[in-house]
């Protein structure tokens, strides 16, 4: 007797389970079972509960099954120049390389070509969810969302807003223009299932007070989240002080317009120089920090003291911040977060101890995942975002514990070690080329 469970909608994955319940508590279950029901985690078990013993099992014995990685901050429109032009600091980098590249997305032909490359690589990566910047162009950003929607990955994507302090060839001509395009953009995204819009003022210097005020109203009317940049670079912070004299901190320059979380979610990338006042404001407003260590090194921005943020109780996840970061791999982001935390401790403040393996694993999964709701762990009731990692090719002459295998995997693997990826219970990538039959027919899935 199957006690009324509809087994058609049950998936059972067998393998070595690793998932974070909090930053201090990572679970390791060798030869365990992950039961997924209706796209939701039913449970992670050492022994398969008796009601499931006659069901078919997807057997990943010897491989590591973990929650999908969350990229809380990435610029899809900059993927084209990843690995190039990192010889400048933020403001010069924007003016020399970034705005020029982003202006090309005025052409849909270019957007098609460039975004296809990003989306294909994202499918093959270990990322299951991402918060993504497009460009100021509505059509190109919708094209990106169309591509993303078909993959089954869950994403939030922003048409970028910029109406001041930007070059003539890459600026919106008024706050009203910017807002009008944004409202049209939001309306057109209603056709998408997996990708949703997010309000995206680029950063304070590129948005007038009028634009900020109006964007805040649009945000409220459509009940959307916000993503932007905060306290990344010292010159940038000085510039914000000059431009917004009424704000006592960079964070306040968003908050005074209602664009800094509170009763809705907001992500702020970087926060390298956030002081105690800004941290208190982030904590109070439930703002998420997207920690982007690769980018902060490449643009010589500095090191964000993540241990301090965690102590304050501020939400933190990881971001690749391509193309200031050169890779979309969140495995690389975990290593970078570990390494820069050691340098901060050694060189900046010896009271801020380095992050641990378990902590960076938490940041890359549950830390960022909670931005999307119940995402990022294998607790009952969470959405089943899962990656299966094969570490058998990373040879070792002695037996390793599962804890050691996680550590090695973080340092030594890359996204090519991924065997399969599931988002909300649907298989969206399989190294062998199989995907879920129950995904809708017209959805062409991008595979290797
Ligand atoms: N601040 C404003 N725009 C950007 C951007 O594109 N990348 C980074 N790293 N910081 C920014
Ligand atoms: Fe960024």
Looking at all shown ligands, the one closest to residue 232's CA atom is 1
CA of 297, nearest ligand number: 1
> How many Å apart are CA 442 and CA 448, to the nearest integer?
18
Strands (E), 200-283: 200-201, 226-230, 266-270
In angstroms, what is the span from residue 375 Cα to ligand 1's centroid?
Answer: 27
In whole angstroms, give the CA distance from residue 435 to residue 124: 13
Q: Which residues on adjacent β-strands are paired with residue 131?
A: 156
Question: 409: closest CA among 378, 383, 388?
Answer: 388
Please state, in angstroms and rounded to a whole number, the distance separating the CA atoms of residues 35 and 195.
Answer: 26
> What's the CA dihedral at 157, 293, 386, 125 to 10 degrees?
70
Place of tokens 């009763």: 263
Q: Residue ranges of the chain with pLDDT lower than 70?
A: 1-7, 434-448
Paired tokens of 119: 């989306």
Q: What are phi and psi of 40, to 5 degrees?
A: -120, 145
Give pLDDT, residue 434: 60
Pocket residue to mutate for ligand 1, from 229, 243, 297, most atoms within 8 A of Cβ: 229
Ligand 1 atom closest to Cα of 229?
1
Q: How far is the CA of 341 from the centre of ligand 2 (A)?
A: 20
Residue nearest to atom 8 of ligand 1 (CA): 324
As a dihedral over the C-alpha atoms of residue 448, residue 117, residue 369, residue 266, rounded to 10 degrees, the angle is -170
Token pair listed for 246: 């009424």
- Tell me if 229 CB under 6 Å of ligand 1: yes
What pLDDT is recorded for position 415?
Answer: 81
Q: How far is the CA of 90 from the centre of ligand 1 (A)?
A: 7
Ligand 1 atom 3: residue of nearest CA: 202
CA–centroid distance, residue 94 to ligand 1 (Å): 7
Among residues 70, 75, 69, which one has the least CA distance to residue 229?
A: 75
Tokens describing residue 433? 């080329």
**CB-based burial, 369-408: b 16+ in 10 Å, e otherwise:** bbbbeebbbbeeebbbbbbbbbbeeeeeeeeeebeebbbe
427 lines ligand 1 (CB under 6 A): no
Q: State which ligand 1 atom lies nearest to the alpha carbon of 78.
A: 6
Distance in Å, CA 133 to ligand 2 centroid: 8
323 preceded by a cis bond (ω within 30 of 0) = yes
pTM above 0.85, yes or no: yes
Judged by phi (left if over 0) then psi (alpha if -120 to 50, else beta), residue 317 lies in beta
Q: Relative to the CA of 206, which ligand 1 atom is closest?
A: 2
Residue 321: CB within 6 Å of ligand 1? Answer: yes
**What pLDDT, on the 0 to 100 scale, is given for residue 432?**
79
Ligand having the closest approach to the CA of 290:
2
Q: Is 203 touching ligand 1 by the criterion CB < 6 Å? A: yes
Nearest-CA neighbor of 88 among 298, 229, 273?
A: 298
User: Among all ligands shown, which has an atom nearest to the Cα of 207?
Assistant: 1
CA of 269 to the centre of ligand 1 (A): 9
């Amino acid at each position: 007797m199957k006690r009324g469970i509809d087994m058609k909608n049950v998936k059972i994955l067998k393998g070595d389970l690793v998932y974070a319940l909090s930053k201090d508590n990572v679970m390791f279950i060798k030869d365990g079972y992950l039961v997924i029901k209706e796209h939701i985690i039913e449970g992670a078990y050492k022994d398969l509960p008796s009601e499931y013993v006659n069901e078919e099992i997807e057997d990943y014995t010897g491989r590591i099954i973990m929650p999908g990685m969350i990229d809380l901050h990435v610029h899809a429109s900059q993927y084209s120049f990843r690995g190039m032009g990192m010889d400048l600091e933020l403001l010069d980098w924007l003016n020399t390389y970034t705005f020029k590249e982003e202006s090309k997305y005025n052409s849909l032909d270019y957007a098609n070509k460039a975004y296809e490359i990003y989306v294909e690589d994202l499918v093959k990566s270990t990322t299951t969810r991402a918060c993504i910047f497009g460009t100021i162009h509505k059509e190109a950003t919708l094209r990106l969302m169309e591509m993303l929607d078909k993959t089954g990955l869950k994403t939030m994507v922003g048409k970028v807003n910029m109406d001041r302090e930007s070059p003539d060839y890459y600026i919106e001509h008024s706050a009203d223009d910017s807002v009008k395009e944004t409202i049209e953009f939001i309306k057109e995204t209603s056709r998408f299932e997996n990708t949703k819009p997010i309000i995206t003022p680029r950063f304070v210097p590129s948005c007038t007070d009028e634009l900020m005020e109006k964007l805040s109203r649009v945000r409220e009317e459509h009940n959307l989240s916000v993503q932007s940049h905060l306290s990344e670079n010292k010159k940038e912070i000085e510039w914000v002080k000059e431009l917004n004299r009424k704000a006592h901190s960079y964070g306040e320059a968003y908050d005074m317009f209602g664009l800094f979380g509170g009763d809705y979610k907001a992500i702020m990338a970087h926060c390298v120089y956030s002081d105690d006042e800004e941290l208190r404001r982030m904590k109070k407003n439930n703002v998420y920090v997207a920690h982007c260590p690769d980018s902060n090194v490449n643009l010589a921005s500095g090191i964000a003291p993540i241990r301090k943020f965690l102590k304050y109780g501020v939400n933190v996840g990881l971001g690749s911040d391509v193309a200031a970061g050169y890779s979309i791999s969140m495995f690389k982001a975990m290593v970078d977060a570990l390494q820069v935390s050691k340098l901060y401790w050694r060189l900046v403040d010896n009271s801020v101890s380095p992050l641990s393996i378990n902590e960076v694993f938490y940041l890359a999964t549950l830390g960022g995942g909670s931005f999307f709701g119940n995402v990022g762990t294998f607790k009952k009731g969470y959405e089943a975002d899962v990656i299966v990692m094969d570490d058998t090719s990373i040879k070792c002459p002695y037996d390793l514990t599962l804890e050691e295998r996680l550590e090695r995997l973080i340092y030594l693997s890359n996204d090519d070690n991924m065997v399969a990826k599931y988002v909300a219970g649907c298989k969206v990538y399989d190294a062998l080329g199989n995907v879920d039959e129950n995904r809708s027919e017209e959805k062409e899935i991008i595979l290797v």
